[in-house]
Amino acid sequence: MKASVTDTAGLVNTDPASVFNDAYRQYSPGVCAYLRTRGVEDPEGVAQDVFLALFPRLGDLRGGPAGLRTLIFTIAHARAVDSHRRRARSPISIEYNPARDGRLTSSAEDQVLDNVTGGHALLENLPEDYREVLALRVIAELSLESTARIMNKSPGAIKQLQRRALARLKESQQETKGQGKS
C-alpha cells in the first residue's frame, strides 16, 4: 500500500518522492486557497514555487504529517509575505473578473448563494490577520502552536485573534442572513 502523508505513522521511512507526490496532491489545493485568501496575485504559480522549495527540505523533515503541513504552510506564508512586499513596490495589476464588474448585475439569488457558500467570500470581508488565522487553522489544519510560530505571535495571542475572527465572522453571517430575510 502506498504511504500517504496523512498516515500517523510518520514520514521517516517513506520515500521522499512519494511523500512529495502525495503532499502535492493533498495540500496543493489548500496552499492555493491559503495564498488566495492572503491576496497573492498568482496563487497557483506561487503554490508551485512553494512545493519546489519544499522538495529539497524533505530530507530534514521531522514531526510526521503535522510537521509536513507546518513546513508547507511556513513556506507559503513566507512566499505570501514576499508577494505583498513585491506588490508594495510595484503597481497593482488586477485581472479582470466579470463577477466583480460593477457594471454587471446578477440575480439576487445568485448573490445570496455566493455570499453564503463561497469560502473566499466569507473570508474576504474579514481583516487580514483574521483571514490568516482562520486560513491557517481551518484550511491548513495547523495547531495553535504552529499557527503562532508562523504568524510570529504567542499562542495566547493567536487564541484571542481567532476568537475575534470567529466573532466577526458570526456578525457577518448574521448580517447576511438579515439581508436575506429582508
User: Does 170 sit near another protein (CB under 8 A)?
Assistant: yes
User: Does 62 sit near another protein (CB under 8 A)?
Assistant: no
Q: What phi and psi, each to the nearest 5 degrees, are found at residue 152?
A: 60, 45
CB of 3 or CB of 144, closer to another protein = 144
Return the HEC string of the chain.
CCCCCCCCCCCCCCCHHHHHHHHHHHHHHHHHHHHHHCCCCCHHHHHHHHHHHHHHHHHHCCCHHHHHHHHHHHHHHHHHHHHHHHHHHCCCCCCCCHHHCCCCCCCHHHHHHHHHHCHHHHHHCCCHHHHHHHHHHHHCCCCHHHHHHHCCCCHHHHHHHHHHHHHHHHHHHHHHHHHHHC
Shortest distance, position 3 Cβ to another protein, whole Å: 14
Among 17, 81, 108, 157, binds another protein (CB under 8 A): 17
Judge contact between 94 and 41, C-beta under 8 A.
no
Shortest distance, position 126 Cβ to another protein, whole Å: 10
CB of 151 or CB of 166, closer to another protein = 166
Among 4, 10, 41, 48, binds another protein (CB under 8 A): 48
Shortest distance, position 103 Cβ to another protein, whole Å: 28
User: Does 122 sit near another protein (CB under 8 A)?
Assistant: yes
User: Does 127 sit near another protein (CB under 8 A)?
Assistant: no
Positions that interact with another protein (CB under 8 A) = 16-17, 20-21, 24-25, 28-30, 32-33, 36-37, 43-45, 47-48, 51-52, 55-56, 58-59, 116-120, 122-123, 134-135, 137-141, 144, 159, 162-163, 166-167, 169-170, 173-174, 177
